[in-house]
Chain A
Amino acid sequence: MTTDLQSNWYPIASSSDLPKRHVYQAQLLGREFAVWRADDGYVNVWENRCLHRGVRLSIGINNGTELRCQYHGWRYANRTAGCTYIPAHPADAPARTICNNTYPAQEAYGLVWAGELAVGELPAIDGFESATVLRPVPIMAPQKMVNQALLGYAWDDTCESAENSDGSVTITATDGSAVRVFVQPVDSNHSVARALYNRKVAGEERIALLKRHSWLMQELRDRTETQAARQETPAPYEPVIAKVSEDLVDIPAISVDGRKADLRVQVARKEMTADGIASLRLEAIKDQLPTFQPGAHIDVHLPNGLVRQYSVTNGPGETDHYTIGVKREPDSRGGSVAIHDTVGEGDVLAISAPRNNFPLRRDAVHTIFIAGGIGVTPLIAMARALNAQGLEFEFHYFVQSDDHVAFKRELSEFEGALNIHKGQSPKETGETLTEVLANPGYARHVYICGPGPMLEATRQIAADKGWADEAVHFEYFKNTTELDDSNSFEIDLARSAMTLTVPAGKSILDVLRENGINMSSSCEQGACGTCRCGVIEGDVIHQDVYLSDGEKAEGRSIMTCVSRAASNRLILDI
């Protein structure tokens, strides 16, 4: 059902209904809203049901940056309402964009305004710039009847009333005092009169004002409800429950969005966060940025045509920007140098939506983060997420010197868990890691990100200390393996029923794309994991650094950008 009513702005709550960390239940034209203010002040007006199993979000928990559903702990981000975590599958990043329905909302004049299909800005309410919000009065009567009744509202003999073009009623007395009443149509036979008084008053005077109008409004309520009870009750509104998008129906399949950069961001701030490391705050040019999960990276398309991956360092709820850290690589092929030397504040960059191939489990009893140099960036986002949730972790950051410690402000959020190891030789680093990794155990997990040699060493130490493969999570920046693409073989695509030949010199990914099969990819050097694909039959020569040794031995996945067949034929799950 679409009506003209839906395109109007209505007050649905007073600002004072949204104290810190509260979730308020509102209703407009039969549709329930969960209304909550994040700690950054943003007011969210969402459909009042979790997309998973329909539980009201107004009974959820507002943790200041995210709203958590009471039923299964799904977390939805401030602003975007994108789902950031599904606790039942802690090892997966939510592969799909699960986003709750949000509605246009504004906070102004001490009221929260919303409209299901409202567009543009809330029109200015002249003469009420400095107003007092009166007590809202619920009335069991249709909105039109309440509006009509309000034309007779008066607190002294000089009051005159007039209906405004938006349907609200203004009552003015000769002394200049005025009240403007907006009627919120909660349902077809249920309204709330929300009024503004045109002067800011406080203390005793305010109490007296509220009392007086509550009394008068109560009289109006009684009259109107008596009148409404004599009429036939209109049928309640039947808000349509929007269907979830087609791609959410089934359990997640391989995404087919290719290497796209459909977001445009502006470099809002660029600063040196450590010696040789620039931090860039990227803000959306229009609309909102998609939801990210800790560990996610974005592809940044640079002015010189290169594409580079950078991890998002944001904490939970920081959804109005992405912050990345870029190290100037001495042997740069042009990516980091372009960012350091060419890109400046105010520049517009094309980026991809965040992708998470380094998901964070939040079901660990203890988490150990091991960062080397610029590898700290995804781990900062992870640590901030655990910290916000009050989960236990320790953070080890290996750097050359104090000058090389990046993102000090973000690190200070979890000072108690932070250990910075400065200027250690490879041997000393090994000793420190041996100590740090001394105790593997049930539900203990390690996340490692850093330069190749350090990563290799850390994984080796973890294996020696008895850490299970699946408890050790890592992300390489790049693949330094010498790639061999000299063989030729066939691939059978099980789901697409096609057989293709991969010649020497081309990757599986190239051949898939040439044949019109859209496959996601990002780094295209076997480091990021985006182009992962299932293997049904055949042996694989793994040349990536993404899969763990166990996964490589199992042979059930392949990185299509670099890895190849060891046999004549591979059957892929595409």
Chain B
Amino acid sequence: MSILKCSDPIALNLWYAIAPLDEVLIGETAQTILLEQPIAYTRNHTGEIVAWVHDVASGGNPETDRLPIKERYGYFWTSLGTPDADIFPIPEYDEQDRRNIHAASFGVNVSAPRLVENFLDMGHFPYVHTDILGAEPHTEVKEYFVEVSKERDEILATNCKFWQPMAAAVASGGMDVDYVYRVPHPYSAVLYKSNPTDPERMDVIAIFIQPTSQETLRVHMLLSLLDESNDDISIRLFQQTIFGQDKPILENQYPKRLPLDPRAETPIRADKSAIAYRRWLSDKGITYGVIPAAA
């Protein structure tokens, strides 16, 4: 394998979702980039997905430059290193009555951690997702809890509530929506959101980020919903509208990499989960996609 541009051992040894399974077709080779490294993938005639390090000159060798593969949550995942952990669990994905939908893969000119923070953030709903996920004057971010689970090595924000005029495709009229957020992977996050049809259970939305460089990314968005009344297209359109509203904000953040120095930006109480996330990244020693705090 040629020398990798990414030198962050933690980032190299993570699993990354690359493409939805049903878009990897027999006999068709596709190319993408992971951590600045071009890679190629296809589905061979036995139906197995194969991915390898792509070399611009030679095309690379699917046998000798072969990358590890896992199929999980409707995507295939790979790694440029040797992951010492499995992909994090999302138990709800396997529940029989849920609809698991690949909502979209988006390219964004920003670092992966900036996108994770945006995903954890509720305060922007009335301003960025006006009249959909929030509306003035209902702008308050109420107190919520954040913990870093040592055992699972993930961040958990619970008891989050936000007033939403139209919280999901099936919602009609405003309501206080409950959220739970998980960050089980430095560049992935999962949110649970109360569901208008079933008070006991929650919809799940996950983002799996494929950093293409320190300051650019592709994000794959998975939905695992209890919605029975909307078709896939309208559900996708709803999520894509939301995402399309975040994209210009994300691309206008400066610097593009997430600064981990506590004096780089000004947190408020509403940013508790983001503060925990930045500390967690700092403690891990992540350097890819961030500006590490000076020692």
Which residues of A does B touch, CB under 8 Å? 32, 48-49, 51-56, 59, 70-73, 86-91, 98, 241, 243-246, 248-251, 362-365, 391, 443
Contact A71 B265 (CB under 8 A): no
Which residues of B does A touch, CB under 8 Å? 117, 122-124, 126-128, 136-141, 248-249, 252-255, 259, 261-270, 272
Contact A248 B123 (CB under 8 A): no
Taking the nearest CB of chain A, how far is it from the CB of B274, in angstroms?
8
Known: A53-B117, A54-B255, A71-B127. 8 other contacts (CB 8 A): A55-B254, A56-B252, A71-B249, A88-B123, A244-B266, A249-B263, A251-B268, A364-B137
Taking the nearest CB of chain B, how far is it from the CB of A368, in angstroms?
15
Taking the nearest CB of chain A, how far is it from the CB of B260, in angstroms?
12
Identify A90's interface contact among B117, B127, B140, B262, CB under 8 A.
Answer: B140
User: How far, in angstroms, from A59 to B250 measured CA to CA in the complex?
Assistant: 12
User: How far, in angstroms, from A246 to B266 measured CA to CA in the complex?
Assistant: 10
Smallest Cβ-Cβ distance to A86: which chain B residue:
B268
Contact B127 A363 (CB under 8 A): no
User: How far, in angstroms, from A473 to B164 measured CA to CA in the complex?
Assistant: 26
Contact A89 B268 (CB under 8 A): yes
Smallest Cβ-Cβ distance to B262: which chain A residue:
A249
Contact A89 B270 (CB under 8 A): yes
Q: Top 9 closest A-B pairs, CB basis?
A: A87-B139, A243-B263, A88-B123, A88-B270, A363-B137, A88-B141, A56-B252, A249-B262, A51-B266
Contact A32 B123 (CB under 8 A): no
Identify B141's interface contact among A55, A89, A241, A245, CB under 8 A.
Answer: A89
Taking the nearest CB of chain A, how far is it from the CB of B31, in angstroms?
30
Smallest Cβ-Cβ distance to B123: which chain A residue:
A88
Contact A52 B268 (CB under 8 A): yes
Of the A-B pairs whose beta carbons lie under 8 Å apart in the complex, a sample of 23, sorted by A's number, is A52-B266, A54-B255, A71-B124, A71-B127, A72-B123, A72-B127, A73-B126, A73-B127, A73-B136, A87-B123, A87-B126, A87-B127, A89-B141, A89-B268, A90-B139, A241-B255, A243-B261, A249-B267, A250-B267, A251-B272, A362-B137, A363-B140, A391-B137
User: How far, in angstroms, from A71 to B124 measured CA to CA in the complex?
Assistant: 6
Identify A244's interface contact among B127, B140, B263, CB under 8 A.
Answer: B263
Smallest Cβ-Cβ distance to B137: which chain A residue:
A363
Contacts of A88 in B (CB 8 A): 122-123, 139-141, 268-270
Contact A98 B263 (CB under 8 A): no
User: How far, in angstroms, from A244 to B266 measured CA to CA in the complex?
Assistant: 7
Contacts of A72 in B (CB 8 A): 123-124, 127
User: How far, in angstroms, from A443 to B128 measured CA to CA in the complex?
Assistant: 22
Most chain A CB inside 10 Å of its own CB: which residue of B124, B137, B262: B137
Contacts of B253 in A (CB 8 A): 53-56
Taking the nearest CB of chain A, how far is it from the CB of B277, in angstroms?
13
Identify A49's interface contact among B139, B249, B254, CB under 8 A.
Answer: B254
Smallest Cβ-Cβ distance to A246: which chain B residue:
B263
Contacts of B269 in A (CB 8 A): 88-89, 251
If over half of A's interface residues share one DSSP class (helix, strand or loop), that class is named, otherwise mixed; here it is: loop
Contact A362 B265 (CB under 8 A): no
Contacts of B123 in A (CB 8 A): 72, 87-88
Contacts of B272 in A (CB 8 A): 251
User: How far, in angstroms, from A56 to B248 measured CA to CA in the complex?
Assistant: 11
Contacts of A243 in B (CB 8 A): 261, 263-264
Contact B270 A56 (CB under 8 A): no
Contact A55 B140 (CB under 8 A): no
Contacts of A48 in B (CB 8 A): 254
User: How far, in angstroms, from A86 to B127 measured CA to CA in the complex?
Assistant: 12
Most chain B CB inside 10 Å of its own CB: which residue of A73, A362, A443: A73
Taking the nearest CB of chain B, how far is it from the CB of A229, in angstroms?
26
Contacts of B267 in A (CB 8 A): 52, 249-251
- Known A70-B127, A71-B124, A249-B263; judge A363-B136 contact (CB<8 A): yes
Contact A91 B265 (CB under 8 A): no
Taking the nearest CB of chain B, how far is it from the CB of A200, in angstroms?
38
Contacts of A53 in B (CB 8 A): 117, 253, 265
Taking the nearest CB of chain A, how far is it from the CB of B291, in angstroms?
9
Contact A32 B264 (CB under 8 A): no
User: How far, in angstroms, from A393 to B122 measured CA to CA in the complex?
Assistant: 26
- Known A32-B254, A54-B253, A59-B248; judge A365-B137 contact (CB<8 A): yes
Taking the nearest CB of chain A, how far is it from the CB of B286, in angstroms?
18
Taking the nearest CB of chain B, how far is it from the CB of A85, in angstroms?
10
Contacts of A248 in B (CB 8 A): 263, 266
- Known A89-B141, A90-B140, A364-B137; judge A98-B254 contact (CB<8 A): no
Taking the nearest CB of chain B, how far is it from the CB of A27, in angstroms?
12
User: How far, in angstroms, from A89 to B263 measured CA to CA in the complex?
Assistant: 21
Identify A443's interface contact among B126, B137, B255, B268, CB under 8 A.
Answer: B137
User: How far, in angstroms, from A517 to B136 measured CA to CA in the complex?
Assistant: 41
Taking the nearest CB of chain B, how far is it from the CB of A303, in angstroms?
39
Contact A71 B128 (CB under 8 A): yes
Contacts of B249 in A (CB 8 A): 55, 59, 70-71
User: How far, in angstroms, from A248 to B263 measured CA to CA in the complex?
Assistant: 7
Contact B265 A443 (CB under 8 A): no
Smallest Cβ-Cβ distance to B256: which chain A residue:
A54
Identify A362's interface contact among B139, B266, B270, CB under 8 A.
Answer: B139
User: How far, in angstroms, from A48 to B140 measured CA to CA in the complex?
Assistant: 26
Identify A73's interface contact among B117, B122, B139, CB under 8 A.
Answer: B139
Contacts of B124 in A (CB 8 A): 71-72
Contact A51 B139 (CB under 8 A): no
Contacts of B139 in A (CB 8 A): 73, 87-88, 90, 362-363
Identify B252's interface contact among A59, A86, A91, A443, CB under 8 A.
Answer: A59
- Known A91-B140, A243-B263, A244-B266; judge A55-B252 contact (CB<8 A): yes
Contact B137 A52 (CB under 8 A): no
User: How far, in angstroms, from A505 to B272 measured CA to CA in the complex?
Assistant: 43
Taking the nearest CB of chain A, how far is it from the CB of B187, in angstroms?
18
Contacts of A245 in B (CB 8 A): 263
Smallest Cβ-Cβ distance to B253: which chain A residue:
A54
Contacts of A71 in B (CB 8 A): 124, 127-128, 249
Taking the nearest CB of chain A, how far is it from the CB of B289, in angstroms?
14
Identify B265's interface contact among A51, A70, A364, CB under 8 A.
Answer: A51
Taking the nearest CB of chain B, how far is it from the CB of A425, in angstroms?
36
Contacts of B254 in A (CB 8 A): 32, 48-49, 54-56
User: How far, in angstroms, from A460 to B292 measured CA to CA in the complex?
Assistant: 55
Contacts of A241 in B (CB 8 A): 255, 259, 264
Contacts of B266 in A (CB 8 A): 51-52, 98, 244, 248
User: How far, in angstroms, from A56 to B262 measured CA to CA in the complex?
Assistant: 20
Most chain B CB inside 10 Å of its own CB: which residue of A72, A241, A244: A72
Most chain A CB inside 10 Å of its own CB: which residue of B138, B140, B266, B267: B266
Contacts of A49 in B (CB 8 A): 254
User: How far, in angstroms, from A551 to B36 measured CA to CA in the complex?
Assistant: 56
User: How far, in angstroms, from A241 to B261 measured CA to CA in the complex?
Assistant: 12
Taking the nearest CB of chain A, how far is it from the CB of B249, in angstroms?
5
User: How far, in angstroms, from A365 to B137 measured CA to CA in the complex?
Assistant: 7
Taking the nearest CB of chain B, how far is it from the CB of A87, in angstroms?
4
Taking the nearest CB of chain A, how far is it from the CB of B247, in angstroms?
12
Smallest Cβ-Cβ distance to A49: which chain B residue:
B254
User: How far, in angstroms, from A101 to B261 measured CA to CA in the complex?
Assistant: 18
User: How far, in angstroms, from A5 to B128 measured CA to CA in the complex?
Assistant: 38
